[in-house]
Chain A
């Protein structure tokens, strides 16, 4: 059972919130069992090939790739969010489990703490 559940709800690069969420998750993994859930527009954090050169900001999306190295292997999204946005699991840069609404609710219920970004 997960001790810490991190939820990413914002798309990337429009604000710094997504990067803060990822950093917090990586830090949390040092002392707790962590899971990461992408909800709503948060799924855009890991969709497509992102190139931030034109914005002059760091492309932190590549850092999601280190999650398994930090022991964060419980990665989830909501199946309906994918469908609503015309996305498939194959469009994502991480290997995730797509959950039903009930499973998302259960995941949140089972977590000791939930941190939302």
Chain B
């Protein structure tokens, strides 16, 4: 990732809160914006971190239109 990039955590990807982003402190490392789909977060009972912005599906689409390229992992 590069500065100015954004990441959206969806479905089981929201566990990255607990496992990766929180424990490794990687958000500040990349200076990237991190978003997560709220419905997926709530369904899995993952405690939302302060550094992660929760979005709905409309926000998901909006973000996809704001960036030149979208890559799915």
B51 within 8 A of A: no
User: In the complex, how many residues of chain A place their beta carbon closer than 8 angstroms to a beta carbon of chain B?
Assistant: 21
Does B19 sit at the interface, judged by CB under 8 A? yes
Q: Which residues of B contact A51 (CB under 8 A)?
A: 42-43, 45
Determine the chain B residues whose CB is within 8 A of the CB of A110 once the complex forms.
Answer: none
Query: Chain A's nearest CB lies how many Å from the CB of B7?
Result: 18
B-contact bits for A88-114, CB 8 A (1 contact / 0 none): 000000000000000000000000000
State the main secondary structure of chain B at its contact with A.
helix
Nearest-neighbor residue (CB-CB) of A47 within chain B: B45
Q: Which of B15, B23, B43 contacts A55 (CB 8 A)?
A: B43
B23: nearest chain-A partner, CB-CB: A86
Instruction: Provide the residues of chain A in CB contact with B44, threshold 8 Å.
Output: 11-13, 44, 48, 50
- B residues 4-35 with Cβ under 8 Å of A? 11-12, 15, 18-19, 22-23
